[in-house]
Structure 1
């Protein structure tokens, strides 16, 4: 579904990412992990179109999409959630999702001015889709509430719902379990499984390693902007380079 080849990003003299190769299979849950400063968010910024790579290629379903802007990537089916969930707090949860669905609408300013049938039909369709996504993420009961008055765990679910409202092929989730308790983390993990079962490929950045190892089918490990390992959770747990990167000890258990 998503592949990068030789992905590199420089900010002046700083090399934030260097020659990263990675592939994320369709219909699976993949994770990008690494210590703080490893380049995980930079990686998401590059594949989602927030940054243009200095070198390398980004392929979506085999199509070269290198350098496309974030809005173009969203229309091609790349959605993203962020560590901090930004919503229109003065609008209802349902209306936040309706805004997301408008990525796929075609009504113009003229349609809005004259109150056209196309606009009315699209508004109904957006509302119906918002209700369906609310049901998928388990928030139908709070669709009418203002987004500014919901809990942190509910905001995380709304972030998933808003991303799903764009009808993505692949969803990039940046620390989806950040700031929630263990019970809520388990509920979010189950939600991610449901999202993948609905036909969306999922890639997440997450620091909660117990969750990653239970949830992910495929793991990519970054350190200082370079890929140091990739494989199944079992392979990653046993990789001495990963142990050294996370624990600060070499394969013999001695400080490097």
Structure 2
């Protein structure tokens, strides 16, 4: 059984055929998914979905690109929602230096606030990182995020950075890019990071794996990620599926 640790089934791209998308995922052995909300509308939709489907759980946080829009009231709201039995993580949060909507210092402040919240409510953190690796590592250390740990979502860094994150109690999650023919770093990470420290995800509707690259991603494709990791590690698909599912359930506190 597979566990997709990062889906955006709350995205508009799934508004027409959500039932069929979920059915296809279940047919491929995906038994559990975490729906990630990262602003007001997507958090509300994530909460709706987890109320409706028993195999869906929610992560709630504020995306770094939109950090400039987050108010203290929003943070308070996230804290209140975090006590819901199906909320299993804070995030996605982090830093994104690719887009310039939110200034770096505001992103960093909002990131720190969410790390502190995660520690307060005792939930793991889901980290979004784009072109900001060193600042993310520094802030996680300064805020002692190791206390709750979490996930380096759709990890694109080097094996060296991966080991640094493991030391801070963060698991490494790999998605579609590990299947791309020219993706050297994710493949090296898949080979080097112990299976007990790996998770799998789609980040759907984004980052579809080969051979669907460039098309809408969906949770059923997480099987392709697991198959690629199995091939790179020289182990069975079943072992990857079982171990990454066990890792995810342990991290999220799902029995």
TM-score using structure 2 length = 0.40
Greater strand share, 1 or 2?
1
Which one has more relative contact order, counting CA pairs under 8 Å at least 6 apart? Answer: 1
Greater helix share, 1 or 2?
2
TM-score using structure 1 length = 0.39
